Structure 1
Amino acid sequence: MGSVEISSVEINGGRVVYEILGEAGELIVLTPGGRFGMDIPGVRPLARALVDGGYRVLLWDRPNCGDSDVQFYGQSESHMRAQTLHGLLTALDTGPCVLAGGSGGARDSMITAILYPELVERLVLWNIVGGVYGSFNLGSYYIMPSLQAARAGGVESLVRLREWRELIERNPANKERLLALDRDEFVRLQLRWLNAYVPKPGQTIPGVEDELFDGITVPTLIIRGGENDLDHPKRTSLEVSCLIRGSVLIDPPWPEDAWERAMEDRASGKVNRYNLFDTWVLAAPAILRFLSS
């Protein structure tokens, strides 16, 4: 397996926690979805498989995830994460690397590749979010609760929301960071972030103009969404493959209904057959083949 380096660095006024797995080889930045940290089940097995294939893997807690500091700035939350990743890779002086991400991590990786093409050697994407349901679902889950709480009760109400309470438990400094926010500025920013989840003409990925994908010129692998996956529609994967010229599109290496079954298990409260990202390790052989081609 090789060595594991756990550390943190301050980027744009916030502490970002990261790990580097492996001792040698090209660097792969592996980014999960949602506001899940790098310790979410399913991410590390994929990272280990990639390390076994001869690569180093950077895992990181993005702002508002895991043990890193909460931060609020930028055109959208994914744009903020792209800026953070740029700062992290610059601080590590790694040179161009592979960006690999699923779900929200795919969106973060695409935006990073658009904004900072000099950082990216190759791009690997799967579970790309899109469509009306997928986009509205993200806005309602990640933006609306905080937006409504701040409007009604000020920033003091944010620390009572479960999502932020959990991050405060992991990183107590986050409480003061939240309480120090200016209510009106926070509301304006959340409205901007919410707007980035609203599907618009000419935006296959809400918040990103289709024409910007012309800037992605590196070899790209896309694992398409499941046949009936409303969160990561098959159609969105196909459209992104058309936007990124020369990209390689493959069928998912996991069951077509893997995401739906995982969501059902998560909602049922019973012992899960697998967690949301447990099947991701099945993509390791395809990723390694692509990177060696």
Structure 2
Amino acid sequence: MEINGGQVVYEILGAGNEAGPFIALTPGGRFSKDIPGLRPLARALVNGGYRVLLWDRPNCGKSDVQFSGLSESHMRAETLAALINGLGIGPCIIAGGSGGARDSMLTTMLYPELVTKLVVWNIVGGVYGSFVLGGHYIVPSILAVRGLGVEGLLRVPEWKERIAENPGNRARFEALDTDEFLKVMLRWLNAFVSKPGQTIPGVPDDMFDNIKVPALIIRGGENDWDHPKRTSLEVSCLIKGSELIDPPWPEDAWERAGEKFTATGKFCLFDTWVQAAPAILEFLGR
């Protein structure tokens, strides 16, 4: 589907559940809908009677690269709202983990009429988590453009992957105005600068007042620096009437998965997500 001048790739699972409510399911980072660990959770939700929308957000997977908005999550929220409206599946359930949790919460804040329930886990926050994301996702592009212009962007490993998955992205990069691109990147980077009154990156706390639907929060692990337990607790306070539950996976699941990923190069950070299916289905079934 073309949204805001770019193609967005999506997939719907559970076509046989014709009467089942839709769940828009979003992973973290700049990972695609095909990242290991996401589909087992989606299938478990389908087996529970739901239909699941999986999508490659802009700058992820096979979708077109796009650069606009107050932050990348603001852009993704606008895209998801347009996708839900374009498919005619709203209002629906919104669910996501890690960066997908932030995207899901922001979509609910900005487009409350499109959401019936909200489920989030692995919520990013804190100085370390925010600092790491800004350094990982934004700074390399800034340095590349300042050093070599658009040619530098074409050498960034992440963007090389986007071009490999979607060759049309090369022309989209080559058409960028570097000055405007840098303005957007600095705006996106600023979203990851920890500030008073912003529990999650780039989102003022008072925007949580817009979330009025039933919400389930699966808290972060005890020593998870990327998705702090404290951030989950603060979000549960900000979303009035929300339900906070302990993680259905081990407290150190994220750290152990990170160690395995570093040692073997095999992506396994989302492998535990399927363990949340029973709790999610119980919450949605009420």
Distance in 2 (alpha carbons) for counterparts of 1:125 and 1:170: 28
Q: 2 CA distance for matches of 1:98 and 1:90?
A: 13
| CA distance, structure 2, for counterparts of residue 66 and residue 205 of structure 1 | 24
Q: Distance in 1 between matches of 2:150 and 2:113?
A: 38
Q: Which residue of 2 aligns with 1:68?
A: 63
Other-structure match for 2:137 = 142
Query: Does residue 121 of structure 1 match 2:116?
Result: yes
The amino acid across from 2:222 in the alignment is E
1:275 aligns with 2:268: yes
Match among 19, 23, 30 for residue 11 of structure 2: 19
Q: Tell me the distance in 1 between the aligned counterparts of 2:81 and 2:138.
A: 24
Q: Aligned partners of 2:81 and 2:218: how far apart in 1?
A: 24
Distance (Å, rounded) in 2 between the aligned partners of 1:201 and 1:169: 40
Within 5 A, what are the aligned runs for 1:1-293? 9-23=1-15, 24=18, 25-269=20-264, 275-293=268-286
The alpha-carbon deviation at position 269 of structure 1 amounts to 2.6
Once the two structures are superposed, residues 253-273 of structure 1 have per-residue CA deviations (whole angstroms, 9 ceiling, x without a partner) of 001000001111111136x5x
Aligned equivalents of 2:40, 2:88: Cα separation in 1? 26
| Cα RMSD for the two superposed structures | 0.8
Cα distance in 1 between the residues matched to 2:154 and 2:220: 35
Report the Cα distance in structure 1 between the residues aligned to 2:222 and 2:79, rounded to whole angstroms.
33
Counterpart-to-counterpart distance in 1, 2:106 and 2:76: 9
Structure 1 CA distance for aligned equivalents of residues 54 and 89 of structure 2 = 14
Given residue 163 of structure 2, which amino acid in structure 1 is its aligned partner? Answer: I
Residue deviations 1:155-203, cap 9 Å, x none?
Answer: 1210111100011011000011011100000001000000000110011
For structure 1, which runs of at least 5 residues remain unmatched after alignment? 1-8
**Residues of 1 paired with 2:105 and 2:219: CA distance?**
15
CA displacement at 1:223 relative to structure 2: 0.1
TM-score (norm 1): 0.95
Distance 2:244 2:139 in 1: 34
Structure 1 distance, partners of 2:126, 2:93, is 27
SS in 1 for 2:68: coil
**Cα drift, residue 151 of structure 1:** 1.1
Q: Secondary structure at the match of 2:55?
A: strand
1:76-118 Cα offsets, whole Å, 9 max, x none, are 0000000100110111011200000000000000000000000
Question: How far apart, in 1, do the equivalents of 2:137 and 2:74 lie?
Answer: 15
CA distance in 1, matches of 2:23, 2:91: 10
* Equivalent residue pairs, number: 283
TM-score w.r.t. the length of structure 2 is: 0.98
Q: Percent identity?
A: 71
What CA distance in whole angstroms lies between the structure 2 residues aligned with 1:164 and 1:251? 36
Distance 2:62 2:199 in 1: 32
For residue 252 of structure 1, report the CA deviation from its aligned partner: 0.2
For residues 135 and 173 of structure 1, the distance between their equivalents in structure 2, rounded to whole angstroms, comes to 31
Structure 2 CA distance for aligned equivalents of residues 29 and 114 of structure 1 = 15
Gaps of 5+ in 2: none
Q: Partners in 2 of 1:52 and 1:134 — Cα distance?
A: 34
